[in-house]
Structure 1
Amino acid sequence: MNRRSILRGLALGAVAVPAAVLLEGTAQAAQYSVAATEQVANKVYVWPKGKALTVANRQWSFSPGGGAWANLSDVRLRNTAAHGYVVLVAASGGRVGIVDHTSETDAEGNDLLWSAAPGGNPHAVERIEGNGSIVAASSGGFLSLYSPTAVSKPSTLALVKTYSLPGAHGVLWDPSMKVLWAIGDGTIRWYKVTGSYRSTRLSQAGSKSFSGLGHDLQPDYQNKGKLLFTASHGTYQFDTASKAITRLSTETRVKALVRHSSGEVLSVRADDTGARTWGSPTLRFSDSADRTRSGAEFYKARIWTPAYE
């Protein structure tokens, strides 16, 4: 079975339920925007799905510079009461941060509301809704919890606790179940959040094992109560209620995987070539044309929405 057949099979195999989330349009039209971390230019780009991946077509971008900001590895759009839309970013060079999503098209380092250096190759970053805390997942084997003295002031965030998670690669807040999902080496764990402000803590509530190193962890926007994740031996769906894991494909080296509310699947698969063997110049779509940017190395791709699920 070829790659597009796998992706379309994933999309068509979804449970036939009404779309739980409509993302920048309708499920029927499947018009939405995509955010991607591009590691050669070291920028976050946001493009309309149907447009060529050119600088001229960008809706928004973020350029943090190099050093500890090298190799951007994660991006998420979130909504806050105090600052409106903010963008969470992580870089394998060692830093994570919160970017003010202002009306300007091209954000830079001076648009950061907060940043920190958790170290250990940060792969993902998430915000705990209503609490204001930030959690970073570093592949060095730990989660870093940053909590504020005022939810409305990201500048007050400070490290309060680290938690061991071998191979930590992904984190995702679940507003329905009030838990933080995290993925690492052979495990998905979920954590309850206790306390507030600098007394915020994570308490592990359970775990589920699988084979291989876990990688990306994202919502299935067509199926509330389901998550999608990628690992060494394939792609998978995780049922947040039953904790059942369903294997979706045997495709390896998938670095990003997410399903839009229309059923279309967006993914990035490492091409195993060049200086960044973990990246690819192509964003893949199950129901429309793939998009390639010559010379680029995309690592993560996201549906551009503040929705957690």
Structure 2
Amino acid sequence: MLRRTLVGLCALLFCVPATGAQARSPGWAVVVVDQASRRVLVLQSAEELMAYQGPGRLPVVWGWSADRAADLADLAPARSWTNPDEAKSRVRQGRRYLLATASGGLAAVVETATGVTRWAADVGEGANPHSIELLPDGNVAVTASGGGWVRVYAASQGPRATAHAAYRLPGAHGVHWEGRTGLLWALGDDVLIALRVGGTPAAPTLTVVRTTPLPDHGGHDLAPVLAAPGRFWVSTLTHLWRYDPADDRFTAVRLGDPAAVRDVKSIGDEPGTGRLLTVAPDHTGPCDWCTSVIILHRPDGTRTLRGTHLYKARWWGAW
């Protein structure tokens, strides 16, 4: 019980617990989006997940759901929180935030220590928001595949602020703020774009700085390569890519199983170790886009989380 408590605290406070005579860290916790329970779940580290054999209970150290958030009742989470599809960790001014979206229309930024919603909006059921990012000024970027746009909401102006700047991006799926260059990157069906956020926090603007065609169709996930700051992981329908903006070049990512690079919903490297974490649909469950398996690479490993319908999994890091 004490160990689980320590792991839970570390998951929230972005530390890594030490165990054993050599105080060896078990690594970073993992956050998953589970559409079966309509929850975001922070799990134990990858090493602990690989050793986990308990069929009766998931190794959960923290969880959140819009269904249980009283301060979101005005946004009709029974509808807007349908099929949650994104969960990210961001730390700003010493506070950790969960960033989450759902296909039903909800986008939210939640302070993990208190569970209080810092900002949230229902962007529309048909918009199908797929990713979200927290900007340094407190504003929030959201991409929506159904709506075909990337928006920057003036979230710094209040917890229900809806004023926004928008840019048309067909199939918009991924979004990431790159602090080194001060650019907002967004991924669509066929292009990766870099946007300059201008204006004021109350009235932001978006200007395209770069548009780069993808090597193949179906852009889905966009994530930073933590071992090489400034570079990105990009997933498409049939491949995984590593993109270097300095060279404007995509390099194919090879994994032990050639099939493991197809239809990847999320990818990321673990801070410090470089171990890759991916999720891809296994086409065996009730939904064609989900799975109950998280996959690790370099070294390889899989863990089935029984009863879940996972859409994405990410390292619960501090970047």
Give the alignment's TM-score, normalised by structure 1. 0.82
Report the Cα offset of residue 223 of structure 1. 1.5
Q: Deviations over 1:123-157 (max 9, x none)?
A: 0011112x211111000111122114xx4x64263
Gaps of 5+ in 1: 1-21
Instruction: Please give the alpha-carbon distance, in whole angstroms, between the structure 2 residues aligned to 1:188 and 1:165.
Output: 9
Report the Cα offset of residue 167 of structure 1. 0.2
Q: How many residues align?
A: 274
Letter in 2 for 1:290: T
Instruction: Please give the alpha-carbon distance, in whole angstroms, between the structure 2 residues aligned to 1:225 and 1:30.
Output: 27
SS in 2 for 1:242: coil
**Structure 1 pair 197/241, CA: closer, same or farther in 2 (3 Å)?**
same
Q: Is structure 2 residue 82 aligned with structure 1 residue 70?
A: yes
Q: What residue number does 2:145 align with?
A: 139
Instruction: Please give the alpha-carbon distance, in whole angstroms, between the structure 2 residues aligned to 1:253 and 1:199.
Output: 37
Q: What residue number does 1:252 align with?
A: 262
SS in 2 for 1:155: coil
Q: What residue number does 1:199 align with?
A: 203
**Structure 1 pair 44/156, CA: closer, same or farther in 2 (3 Å)?**
closer
Question: Does the Cα contact within 8 Å between 1:133 and 1:157 map onto a contact in 2?
Answer: no
Q: What residue number does 1:79 align with?
A: 91
Q: What residue number does 1:112 align with?
A: 117
Q: Which has the higher helix share?
A: 2
Report the Cα offset of residue 292 of structure 1. 1.2
Instruction: Please give the alpha-carbon distance, in whole angstroms, between the structure 2 residues aligned to 1:73 and 1:117.
Output: 14
Letter in 2 for 1:71: N
Gaps of 5+ in 2: 1-13, 19-23, 68-77
Q: Which has the higher strand share?
A: 1
Instruction: Please give the alpha-carbon distance, in whole angstroms, between the structure 1 residues aligned to 2:270 and 2:15.
Output: 8
Instruction: Please give the alpha-carbon distance, in whole angstroms, between the structure 2 residues aligned to 1:209 and 1:62.
Output: 36
Identity value in percent: 26
**Structure 1 pair 235/23, CA: closer, same or farther in 2 (3 Å)?**
farther
Q: What residue number does 2:4 align with?
A: none
1:1-309 superposed matches below 5 A: 24=16, 31-49=27-45, 50-51=48-49, 52=52, 55=57, 57-65=59-67, 66-81=78-93, 84-102=95-113, 107=115, 111-119=116-124, 120-129=127-136, 131-140=137-146, 141-148=148-155, 151=156, 154-155=158-159, 157-210=161-214, 211-249=216-254, 251-261=261-271, 262-286=273-297, 287=299, 289-307=301-319
Letter in 1 for 2:37: A
Q: What residue number does 1:8 align with?
A: none
**Structure 1 pair 187/24, CA: closer, same or farther in 2 (3 Å)?**
farther
CA-based RMSD: 2.2
